[in-house]
Structure 1
């Protein structure tokens, strides 16, 4: 959910309850099922949207189209040209799920139409079943963003591990500042339920992986060989819940961590802005306490000195990889001294963020990407199919609407016990009795947090719980039943698990227009 750029706005706006969605989509060739980098997609998408009278702003990197911005969504790429990402503008929470569903299915319809220009479609999977991750493929499909130079080189990340279109369904729900840390704790602790319910990646490199959601093994593989051990730590569930914002940011920016490159100018585009790497690899907190810090520009290698500012704190919020993130935008950027003083006191950052008009939301990273396909419609009918795309955000919205009950659920299960369920959720999904019991508890709370109209968007999750069959089970079953080579099996998967056009399963009153 991309919040509008409100820094420096006049009157501080009150908290507004909103929901948003970031849809990641695995692109495949429409006859072979092979992973496919798009070439003509953005031009075709622009034509589709302009025919409906929409204003469009193309975005290029190295003279290649990488995104198209409209008032309704930012349609772009994740890490590769074989992985699309559409970030919908947030909508008001009043009847927000229905509005979001209409917009999301319209965007999906536009994407499927535009992909025809490349002879491509979207696969219902959260990781391509049989895609290379070697140097040649990586060089061919990786988006040429400046930040990846830092991540691969200076930080030593194995960034190519995710170049086989590992995709998530990014549910985003706004939260009041006073409740933000409780909401984050709940989202992190209960993430095994979302992993299991929305699992959709049992295959990698043409072989079963032994995991229902193999996508979630990514962070260990990317960060374990990295230069700085703190990068792996920031993808690992902490041993206890966070007490307040100050505690959370100390975990994220304090000793044991190393700051990412810091922007030379004001920017929220963390993937493309020119950045400086501070000498000596300090944590962000140490950098902010200095008068200035020497370093070098990532793009040119030029030696520079950078004076710390509060905007460096806000910019760096992206630098952790838990199953949920706390994201925010400040309407007023405080002075650095004001920020550092507030950070020293319990609840101080909450008070400062209120004064600065922060808009905060929880970004879910646990649910795998999922789209209604022929297999699901045949097996479960149109109700679960209609709700599949919206089920993760409905689950998150319902939980956060009942934050006290969700917190009670975390307390009853126990923080450490829930953290220990993450691996079984990834590997076994609902086949694990403890994971299935957690999913039932989580859905009970979420259901109670939604009105009658909202609960319809949980139909897919309810079906998975009742049947014990996630998208991963259906995908693996198709793969195992298909005869012949990996290529033949991939074509069998394509025939049953290509994302359907929304008109195939939406009721007339919910159809896209």
Structure 2
């Protein structure tokens, strides 16, 4: 989810060509590329499986305000704190009280990792003071959307009924899931198109490597990543695999192809005069052609709309990869390094595409389900396991990082961050396998200890 910017005057939009130019205006030259991270965590009362309410002396609102001891300023909506901000960093809340760090973009993984480490240290100190724990998992292991403490954020009040009417598990997505997401720059239409296509194509292997949600409502779910099952039933119009990215001619005009897809997705809301207006399911294309209750579209409306699209890889001002369950810091840093190695090196991108280009669209969709159900043991249509694919992709990523020559203060290049993924690909064990072992051995508390990050 997104922290909506303050409503401001914005230029009107009159055509799809202007929307395609919006992407072109966000191109960055190769030497200005950076990496961004969003990391989500699940809050529970310390020593319990209970979620944390918004209100109260040790609630989510109190937690956000407590970040002021580190110089953060509260971001409020109608007098309710919904985030804390400092120097480009944002700590915000998801619908079920998940805490999200939106980090600053940096040129190398070493700096991103250091910022995440500092953030988790702050979370640990605040959690101890408030009697909380933070867990990293793709789905809250206990409770249901009905027992989750929904956060009082205006955006969610509109999104909740809208999505619930379109997908059986949309409330689960909003209130129960958590992920790690990484964002990457692009320099041209073809550069963006290549990154989008290859990222979509290899998502099943990434999902399998990071599968970390095998427990649902206190029981084994039969999925290594139940979050995959959830995303199958949210809103078919705005989620999943982008089929057009695999069609002939896509790389000739990827901005326009993405725009044409987004135009036909129903709008969830329209922000006007400080309020979130319902759209009646009108698409952005219809809004562009005939307006809505006298309102005409602006670029700010387009930016809002892009934040409500949830494919496995999303394009806003950056290419955002979204298929990884939330995991610990070590795995999260490995996620950033893996994608940087693939996406910021053209040879690595070509190698990754070569590994999966022969799959049919139905095979790609089946591979994502296999990743969710079986993790690295899942198989592609050609018989390869996702573990085998992951090993090949990790080799391509390592070579890509090597060619980027990005070293930290210790003189280590970024390949060092890939070690946790290389170990998992070699063993065939996703984080879910460790979580299941802990749960079977010691129940809820052993699982919580295994998932705890702060």
TM-score, normalised with respect to structure 1: 0.72
Distance 2:144 2:195 in 1: 38
Q: Which residue of 1 aligns with 2:263?
A: 253
Stretches of structure 1 that go unaligned for 5 or more consecutive residues are 51-55, 224-231, 266-272, 295-304, 329-360, 373-386, 483-488, 501-513
Q: Which residue of 2 aligns with 1:438?
A: 389
C-alpha distance 200-307 of structure 1, shift in aligned 2 (>3 A): same
Selected match of 1:463 from 397, 400, 423: 423
Secondary structure at the counterpart of residue 293 of structure 1? coil
Distance 1:214 1:456 in 2: 30
Q: Quick check: 1:321 aligned with 2:310?
A: yes
Selected match of 1:420 from 337, 353, 366: 366
Selected match of 1:113 from 125, 134, 138: 125
> Is the CA contact (8 Å cut-off) linking 1:183 and 1:403 kept in structure 2?
no
Distance 2:285 2:182 in 1: 30
TM-score, normalised with respect to structure 2: 0.81
* CA drift at 1:240: 4.3
Selected match of 2:239 from 212, 235, 239: 235
Q: Which residue of 1 aligns with 2:277?
A: 276
Distance 2:174 2:157 in 1: 15
CA RMSD of aligned residues (A): 2.8
Stretches of structure 2 that go unaligned for 5 or more consecutive residues are 12-24, 54-58, 379-383, 403-411
Distance 2:312 2:174 in 1: 19
C-alpha distance 496-282 of structure 1, shift in aligned 2 (>3 A): closer
* CA drift at 1:208: 0.7
> Is the CA contact (8 Å cut-off) linking 2:138 and 2:212 kept in structure 1?
yes
Listed one character per residue, the Cα deviations across residues 215-240 of structure 1 (whole Å, up to 9, x for unaligned) are 122223333xxxxxxxx132131334
Q: Which residue of 1 aligns with 2:295?
A: 306
Aligned residue-pair number = 403
> Is the CA contact (8 Å cut-off) linking 1:30 and 1:119 kept in structure 2?
yes
* CA drift at 1:13: 9.1
Selected match of 1:366 from 323, 334, 337: 323
Q: Which residue of 1 aligns with 2:100?
A: 85
* CA drift at 1:408: 4.6
> Is the CA contact (8 Å cut-off) linking 1:44 and 1:117 kept in structure 2?
no
C-alpha distance 163-119 of structure 1, shift in aligned 2 (>3 A): farther
Q: Which residue of 1 aligns with 2:56?
A: none
Distance 1:12 1:22 in 2: 20
Distance 1:3 1:99 in 2: 26
Q: Which residue of 2 aligns with 1:104?
A: 116
Distance 1:4 1:462 in 2: 39
Q: Which residue of 1 aligns with 2:155?
A: 147
* CA drift at 1:404: 4.5
> Is the CA contact (8 Å cut-off) linking 2:136 and 2:178 kept in structure 1?
no
> Is the CA contact (8 Å cut-off) linking 1:2 and 1:88 kept in structure 2?
no
> Is the CA contact (8 Å cut-off) linking 1:475 and 1:497 kept in structure 2?
yes
Q: Quick check: 1:477 aligned with 2:437?
A: yes
Distance 1:146 1:497 in 2: 30
* CA drift at 1:278: 4.3
Range 433-442 or range 413-422, more displaced: 413-422
Q: Which residue of 2 aligns with 1:499?
A: 453
Distance 2:4 2:95 in 1: 21
> Is the CA contact (8 Å cut-off) linking 2:145 and 2:176 kept in structure 1?
no
Selected match of 1:25 from 21, 34, 41: 41
C-alpha distance 153-456 of structure 1, shift in aligned 2 (>3 A): same
* CA drift at 1:286: 2.6
Range 208-217 or range 163-172, more displaced: 163-172
After the TM superposition, which residues 29-68 of structure 1 pair with which residues of structure 2 at under 5 Å, given as runs? 29-37=45-53, 38-39=59-60, 40-47=62-69, 49-50=70-71, 56-61=72-77, 63-68=79-84
C-alpha distance 197-164 of structure 1, shift in aligned 2 (>3 A): same
Distance 2:204 2:393 in 1: 10
After the TM superposition, which residues 155-166 of structure 1 pair with which residues of structure 2 at under 5 Å, given as runs? 155=163, 156-157=165-166, 159-162=170-173, 165-166=176-177
Distance 1:42 1:112 in 2: 13
After the TM superposition, which residues 116-195 of structure 1 pair with which residues of structure 2 at under 5 Å, given as runs? 116-134=128-146, 137-138=147-148, 141-155=149-163, 156-157=165-166, 159-162=170-173, 165-178=176-189, 179-195=191-207
* CA drift at 1:258: 2.0
